[in-house]
Amino acid sequence: MPKLLGLLLLLALGCQPQVQENEPVAAPGAHAADANAHAADANPGATAQVPPSGAGFVPAANDPAPPASPAVAGEQTADPAANAKKQADAMSLAMAKGDYETIVDLTYHTVFRELGGKQEAVEITATFMKEMAERGYILTACSAGEPSELFREAENTFVVVPTKTEMNAPVGKVVADSYLLGISPNGGKTWTFVDGSGLATQEARDQVLPKLPAGLKLPEPKTPMILIQN
């Protein structure tokens, strides 16, 4: 499930993230590809200061993944992790710009397939984010950190990329640390992503993901933090 959807729904449904009054928000938490390894903090250089944007999709059944288009993936290198970082940064930038077509193109295909295809997903995304902005949920910054180690299962390569998202909401400033799960069908040349906020349960993972490597342990979800200004 793409970035922001879990956070936005958490707030919209009235759930209670952690709250701090007039205290600085902690730096982005480290995430792991297994229980004992942590990815680096989000790269400040990748942070995008942004207007409202984001995406909302429904998971679908699995089938072989097409690679991201070369235009979206950008120039590729021989380093799969570097490609993953570049394409995760492109996802963050697309959210910053409200470029829903690029967001969909960089999203793992099963996430939007049940909506009828990419164009339908783009339209639903735009409508969803417009409605959330009207309710006072405004994205202000997003960034992608350094990728974890790589894992392989059958034809797919996997990587965890930590993310940090900040937004203004009616309840205060919200900061969420999460991750993107990158999936590559071509050895790390091109990547598409699933946001970790949509992968908290085994049922959700079974719906949207291909078979995961036995050694890949997805990070535990973190509760968004709200900073209330007096």
State the Cα–Cα distance between residues 60 and 117, nearest whole angstrom: 11
Say which CATH number the domain at 150 has: 3.10.450.100
Residue 16 lies in a domain: no
Structural domain tally of the chain? 1
Residue 27 lies in a domain: no
pLDDT in tens, 183-214: 999 999 999 999 998 898 899 899 889 999 99
Whether pTM > 0.95 for this model: the answer is: no
Q: How would DSSP label each residue in 186-201?
A: STTSS-EEEEGGG-SS
* Residue 118: per-residue pLDDT: 86
* Residue 76: per-residue pLDDT: 73
Residue 110 lies in a domain: yes
Residue 24 lies in a domain: no
Residue 10 CA: distances (Å) to CA of 4, 82, 173, 196 = 10, 32, 14, 14
DSSP letter for 119, please. Answer: H
* Residue 97: per-residue pLDDT: 84
> What range does the domain containing 80 cover?
5-11+32-59+70-228
Residue 215 lies in a domain: yes
- Residues of the chain below pLDDT 70: 1-75, 114-115, 229-230
Residue 146 lies in a domain: yes
Residue 21 lies in a domain: no
Residue 213 lies in a domain: yes
* Residue 90: per-residue pLDDT: 95
The residues near 65 (Cβ < 8 Å, ≥ 6 apart) are 108, 109, 110, 156, 183, 185, 192, 210
* Residue 72: per-residue pLDDT: 54
Which residue reads 């982005």 in tokens? Answer: 28
Which amino acid appears at position 49 of this protein? Q
